[in-house]
Amino acid sequence: MGYCDRPRRPSLGNDGENRNSPVHQPDCWALNVWLEAATALAVSDNCLWPLIRLKHRAWYYGVMQVSSDSLLEIIEIIQSDLPLSERRLLVGQGLLEILHAQTFVSYVQGRDGPFYDPVDINLGADSLKAYDDHFRYVDAITPQLFGKPGATRISPALNANDEFIQDFLHRRHMHHGMNFFARTPAAGRVDLRVWRERSAGAFTDTEVRLLNSVGSLIERLWSRPSAIDGVHLTPREAQVAEQVTAGLSDKQICTKLDFSLPTLRTHLRHIYDKVGVHNRAGLAGYYAQHEHHHH
């Protein structure tokens, strides 16, 4: 159906039931609502009218109000000017609600893979640290999914003889997962990882398509981060690097960029690792030397 086509009226069966209602086609209509929104965003800078039309059609076809509202909220978040980490968390909250999932994680891709700047819902700092310190090195699943751009689902076997599956995923009640990785992978790209507990069941084909639409929209609309001579920094890291180069103190940077000292130090550690320096002086020298590559 084209975006300007008139919606067809509900088809009634002999018993008077609406054959186009969510009772008969729950996944089809919800997905149609999302895909039309994604299309509208992709072709229009002013999304007010497409979103109003979308809202009308969600109501017209009887799509559950909570689902249509959540989809619209995700769209608005994706096109907002909120900080990247906040956008990722809010998108994650919306996905958990729509997909009836329990755990969300999102990483930013670095030079050596999708392992940087994580945000999470219902996983926790201790689990993120355990993954970064140990489990990422025995994780055979993420590299596999990373090699399959787009959204991919996975349900590791309960009896799998695998340390990552048994001691990390299943111990944290993550039994059914979906990951989205960008179709054009590059440093700075954002991924989406959603997990369900065992009793919730595996993700459906429609849910895979929905996550794929969300991820594809993010890939299209969220610009790639800044680069220093091929070293890709997240937008926040680039801001920190610029302030360090300008000679601002840690306290001044925290005030200007509105975050805590521990957060600043985390950003600095990631920047040092990416650039290959050990301190602020080294970063300032490297940044000044390669600054022309920004232009």
What are the tens digits of pLDDT across the range 203-258? 998 889 889 988 988 888 886 555 555 567 777 888 888 888 777 888 999 998 88
The predicted-structure confidence for 106-136, as pLDDT tens digits, reads as follows 998 876 678 888 899 999 999 999 998 899 8
Distance CA 136, CA 79 (A): 31
Do domains 95-221 and 227-294 share one topology? The answer is no
Distance CA 220, CA 41 (A): 10
Residue of 145, 167, 155, 161 whose CA lies nearest to 196: 155
- Tell me what pLDDT residue 244 has: 83
Mean pLDDT of 16-30: 41
User: Residue 188 class from Cβ within 10 Å (0-12 exposed, 13-18 middle, 19+ buried)?
Assistant: buried
The predicted-structure confidence for 146-204, as pLDDT tens digits, reads as follows 888 899 999 999 888 999 999 999 999 999 999 999 888 776 789 999 999 999 999 99
- Is the Cβ–Cβ distance between 204 and 27 less than 8 Å? yes
- Tell me what pLDDT residue 13 has: 40
Residue 175 three-state SS? coil
- Tell me what pLDDT residue 192 has: 96
CATH topology for the 227-294 domain: Arc Repressor Mutant, subunit A (1.10.10)
CATH topology for the 95-221 domain: Beta-Lactamase (3.30.450)
32 or 290, higher pLDDT: 290
What residues contact residue 263 under an 8 Å CB cut-off, 6+ apart? 254
Residue type, 82: L
How high does pLDDT run on average in the chain?
Answer: 75
- Buried residues in 101-119 as b, exposed as e (16+ CB within 10 A): bbbbbbbbbbeeebbbbbb
For 171-216, strand residue ranges (E) read 176-181, 192-196
The predicted-structure confidence for 270-280, as pLDDT tens digits, reads as follows 888 887 777 77
10 or 84, higher pLDDT: 84
Q: Which pTM was predicted?
A: 0.61
Judged against a pLDDT cut of 70, whether residue 9 lies above it is answered with no
- Tell me what pLDDT residue 227 has: 53
Contacts 24+ apart (CB under 8 A), 28-31: 28/206, 29/61, 29/62, 29/63, 30/63, 30/64, 30/67, 30/68, 30/71, 30/206, 30/210, 31/206, 31/209, 31/210, 31/213
- Is the Cβ–Cβ distance between 212 and 180 less than 8 Å? yes
89 or 55, higher pLDDT: 89
- Tell me what pLDDT residue 1 has: 36
Distance CA 29, CA 8 (A): 13
Q: Please name the residue that has the structure tokens 């992978």.
A: 185
Domain boundaries, the chain: 1-79, 95-221, 227-294
